[in-house]
Structure 1
């Protein structure tokens, strides 16, 4: 008998304990805990949805509460949409949250196009009513109209301006005999895995104050430095490029070029540009040609420049900073070779003058001769991180820190006490001096002997 009575009390106790958090309180002081009273979405392109943001709504009371209403103010016509604990709905009534329990709200926004060129604000709110308490979560998003280019080709000479950003989805190909000219301040965004193929001519005409931007269409902060979001720019066999004052970031490879020029025009001239946050490399050349002046390249997965199968590479006054906070890199930042495969090897010509080639590895420059092809390299007045003593002549400086201002903040100008100041070879007679090398990447006049790298000061 005593055993039965004890067992009964135990069952009653456990039942009471189980019900404690389920008993619904009507106390007006029993409010919900909402950590975010405002949810802000970064710039969202019209017709392109946002990421999903989550808010955890907690009941920190011992007893359960009945949320009489959770409602998206704009209802079904709102640009925002909400998911309440797994249910996609603009409103829900009489939702019970047990004591010490919580629910999840998931929020997205999709914005319809309108007639304005400037970013515009889209607003709404989520209202929660519990025991007579009204709590509000403000929702804000910046919308931006854009020109959408979906799996397309350019078959005539075309000019892009900064009036609206361009969103590329899939592949955009500039066909042979056609050109794409991009004016200062233009923004070109790429959807996931999109790419730009050049079979004709690409002319990027950014300015010091209004560079041309190539990057992913995800503008949320968490994606700002994420590599591999789009594929990159590809110069095909018949393609040519002139890229000046551009920022190219967050692709798999910034620029890929697969051949030499078939006429007297350089395959690619790249100047006064920044290429960063690439999953594989800033530039890859397959028996190709690159003229690069006043550029800054950094934070790429395996290489800054990877040039194989021979080719012609003329690099002057660039800063190559091979720091890889997100990549366990084991390869030299600049790697050149005459060899691509057993059937693909060619003459390699490498000319490096007044560059900074520095990074976290002991060897950041690798010039390889693997076949019977001719390999010629001229290195003049560079700062190099290398254990190859053959690079130590012709005014080159080996293994001395250039003293960047702040590599963590991506400031690759050098300090006043840097060894690279006034160490540059005189380039005033260089054929590219007037158009590209007489000023640094910030437009400051170069006075010889110049500072090595992209920045004079």
Structure 2
């Protein structure tokens, strides 16, 4: 028994001693490292704004444990890139994140290098508004040296942001919220635009932090080709007696969109290209008027446009034409007791409704495609929602006249069975009509009753229900219709003469299709 005990005890000490050894033999790297990519493209960044973190995987395919004598950025401490290798930031001081010495890598093993950048374009060029900045990660030196290229496109921009005070608080907007003529403090971080900031041009993109406010008596104008990028929880707020005029134009090449105005988030990586809810909204506050939007794309907001009040505006509080709103986490356009006129409007992919006209108002859409192919989560509401009421803080229903809601030569469709919802309460007016529209309403229990009396020509005139629109790629926001669409020639020529060209500039007066696009023949 004693012999067995000593044998087990001896084996234990051998195993324990072996597990505590730190004298692994590492051979110098021989220049045979392998990499997950030979060039790392860090997506476009704005000057002085940090990039996302990108990674490179380094492999030791050999049977030997190796030590890499040196890993460094070729521009050394002057490089705008910085690295982290498996949690280490490298040498201290000015070389931290720039230079690493004697990096060990076991046989048949790998390691991660994480790369970021923050670049001041003014140090690169005093004239260019964008600059291709390059560097390289060098592994070892001399004959054994290997490298991986780094490439980043840097854009100059106009930055608009609120003031940060010494106590840590950030400037908030103060304006007349309740219409009593007395300025009210809000919790909306942001500031009002100065007079010299009220014209946005296409010379540089604009990056907005917080809400850029348009004060009473002022007008914010955006010229053709303007690009505006919003940080999280940011947007534009147009207060009472102020206006917003977005004057985009039809691009000569629809694929380039050089004249269109684009409003989107400030994350430029491809991963964020179609992520909803990256920023707040374009808020047309109660009392603002004469707002016009033409040839604009609004994408990835919480609410594309929030339009409130001015129901009795003689020409419409908001006139929007030839514009697209995509990927709104809540609503594409949300109207509250307001007046909106839309022509050649395309809305798709909204977490709630693409268009909601709530608490009454006046709404007129002609040759518009109001669709919803949201597939990110459960969607509670249809593409189009109309009602004439709200529920106040005391849980009391308050009504207001829906004076008119006319949809002419429109497509209202989506991936749900019911894509328009009509809800009225009390004795307030509830006036609506769909004329020469292609509509999605696949519910036999609700059809032909109440507001859904489809045989009533005063409510539904020459409209087609549940016919296929034949959108090209609806889940990718491509709502051009094809040769098999039941919207072809469905349009009324009188309305087509009011909007003679589709959103791409194609004439529609002879044989108008419904929706914002005339049909095309899809390529195989």
TM-score, normalization by structure 2: 0.81
Tell me by how many angstroms 1:325 deviates. Answer: 2.5
Q: Does 1:134 align with 2:135?
A: no
Displacement of 1:131: 11
1:111 corresponds in structure 2 to 119
- Shifted more, 220-229 versus 232-241: the winner is 232-241
What's the CA shift for 1:43? 1.3
Q: What is the deviation of 1:155?
A: 5.1
How far apart, CA to CA, are the structure 2 residues paired with 1:136 and 1:357? 55
Q: How far 1:9 sits from its partner (Å)? A: 5.2
SS of equivalent residue, structure 1 residue 70 = strand
Counterpart CA distance in 1 for 2:496 and 2:478 is 30
Q: Is the 8 A contact 1:65 1:130 kept in 2?
A: no
Distance of 1:66 and 1:130 partners within structure 2: 13
Within the candidate set 454, 457, 460, 1:391 is matched to 454
In structure 2, distance between residues paired with 1:26 and 1:194? 54
Distance 1:155 1:67, change over 3 A: closer
Corresponding position: 1:82 with 2:122 = no
The secondary structure found in structure 1 opposite 2:347 is strand
2: CA distance, partners of 1:366 / 1:186: 36
Equivalent-residue separation in structure 2 for 1:95 and 1:429 (angstroms) = 70
How far is 1:66 from its partner?
Answer: 1.2
Structure 2 CA distance for partners of 1:22 and 1:362, relative to 1, 3 Å? farther
Q: Deviations over 1:136-179 (max 9, x none)?
A: 12111000101111133135483211011111111100111111
Residue matched to 1:150: 161
Alignment correspondent of 1:4: 6
Report how far residue 225 of structure 1 moved: 0.6
Output the CA distance in 2 between the equivalents of 1:27 and 1:154: 60
- Deviation per CA, 1:5-57: give whole Å up to 9, x if none: 465357546765886x9733426558433212211012111011111112233
How big is the shift at 1:429? 8.9
Q: Identify which range, 22-31 or 447-456, moves more after superposition.
A: 22-31
| Contact 2:496–2:512 (Cα < 8 Å) also in 1 | no
Q: Which of 174, 179, 196 is residue 236 of structure 2 equivalent to? A: 196
Contact 1:24/1:66 (CA < 8 Å) preserved in 2?
Answer: no
- What is the CA–CA distance in structure 2 between the aligned matches of 1:321 and 1:117, rounded to whole Å? 41
Query: What CA distance in whole angstroms lies between the structure 1 residues aligned with 2:517 and 2:399?
Result: 35
Distance 1:18 1:451, change over 3 A: farther
Structure 2: gaps spanning 5 or more residues: 90-95, 163-190, 252-258, 520-524
What is the RMSD computed on CA atoms of the aligned residues?
A: 2.4
The separation in 2 between residues aligned to 1:405 and 1:127, in whole angstroms, is: 47
Separation (CA, whole Å) in 2 of partners of 1:54 and 1:429: 53
CA–CA distance in structure 2, aligned partners of residues 454 and 247 of structure 1: 14
Q: Check 1:429–1:138 CA distance in 2 against 1; reply closer, same or farther (3 A cut).
A: closer
Aligned counterpart, 1:441: 503
Deviation at 1:231, TM superposition (A): 0.3
Q: Does 42-51 or 260-269 show the bigger shift?
A: 260-269
**1:376 alignment partner in structure 2:** 431
- Provide the rounded CA distance (Å) in 2 between the counterparts of 1:67 and 1:148: 42
Aligned partners of 2:317 and 2:340 also within 8 Å: yes
User: How far, CA to CA, are the matches of 1:336 and 1:244 in structure 2?
Assistant: 24
Describe the SS at the equivalent of 1:87: coil
Does residue 1:70 correspond to 2:74, yes or no?
A: no
Structure 1 residues 25 and 15, CA, compared in 2 at 3 Å: closer, same or farther?
Answer: same
1:283 to 333, 340, 350: 333
Q: Using a 3 Å threshold, how does the CA distance of structure 1 residues 22 and 446 change in structure 2: closer, same or farther?
A: farther
Q: TM-score, normalised by structure 1?
A: 0.92
Deviations 1:231-272 (CA, angstroms, capped at 9, x unpaired)? 010001122320000000001110001212564231101111
Measured at CA, do residues 36 and 195 of structure 1 come closer, stay the same or move farther in structure 2, by a change above 3 Å?
A: same
How many residue pairs are counted as aligned between the two chains?
A: 451
Q: Which residue of 1 aligns with 2:274?
A: 225
- Larger mean CA deviation between 219-228 and 391-400 belongs to 391-400
| 1:413 corresponds to 2:480 | yes
Deviates most, 3-12 or 33-42 = 3-12
Determine if the alignment matches structure 1 residue 176 to structure 2 residue 216. Answer: yes
| Equivalent residue number for residue 163 of structure 1 | 203
**Aligned partners of 1:304, 1:391: CA distance in 2, in Å?**
22
Structure 1 stretch 260-269 or stretch 70-79: which is displaced more?
Answer: 260-269
Partner of 1:455: 517
Shift of 1:368: 1.0
Matched, 1:33 2:34: yes
- Contact 1:176–1:238 (8 Å) recurs in 2: no
Q: Which residue of 2 aligns with 1:99?
A: 107
Ranges in structure 1 where 5+ consecutive residues have no aligned partner: none
